[in-house]
Amino acid sequence: ETGVTQTPRHLVMGMTNKKSLKCEQHLGHNAMYWYKQSAKKPLELMFVYSLEERVENNSVPSRFSPECPNSSHLFLHLHTLQPEDSALYLCASSQDFNSYGYTFGSGTRLTVV
């Protein structure tokens, strides 16, 4: 039990589909993150939320839409994705923004066909 749970573990979707990734943390942390992990590339920070407010958006295409309804839940809504969006999407949380002590979930392996 890592304290950060991601669902689903695997997702296959067509380019015209709409789907959502879910992340839930049970650690009482105030900051949550979405990272994208592609083969042979460093982990890319996508979004950061601190106390349910977005504080970072690293020029991510609008086909990725995050939502943080409360400090325990984080979603990543996906629509009209491209095959190059296939990757492992990792959620992480930390006590506070800038505290760096990340706890990661196991990730969602996304395949876009």
Partner 1 sequence: AQSVTQPDIHITVSEGASLELRCNYSYGATPYLFWYVQSPGQGLQLLLKYFSGDTLVQGIKGFEAEFKRSQSSFNLRKPSVHWSDAAEYFCAVGGSQGNLIFGKGTKLSVKP
Residues that bind partner 1 (CB under 8 A): 2, 4, 6, 31, 33, 40-43, 45, 48, 55-56, 90, 92, 97-98, 100-107, 109
- Considering beta carbons, is residue 79 or 104 the nearer one to partner 1? 104
Residue in 28, 38, 37, 40 with CA at minimum distance from that of residue 4: 28
Contacts 24+ apart (CB under 8 A), 35-44: 35/89, 35/90, 35/91, 35/92, 36/87, 36/88, 36/89, 36/90, 37/87, 37/88, 37/89, 37/90, 37/107, 38/87, 38/88, 43/90
Least CB distance from residue 109 to partner 1, whole Å? 8
Least CB distance from residue 107 to partner 1, whole Å? 5
- Considering beta carbons, is residue 9 or 18 the nearer one to partner 1? 9
Least CB distance from residue 80 to partner 1, whole Å? 27
- Considering beta carbons, is residue 8 or 14 the nearer one to partner 1? 8
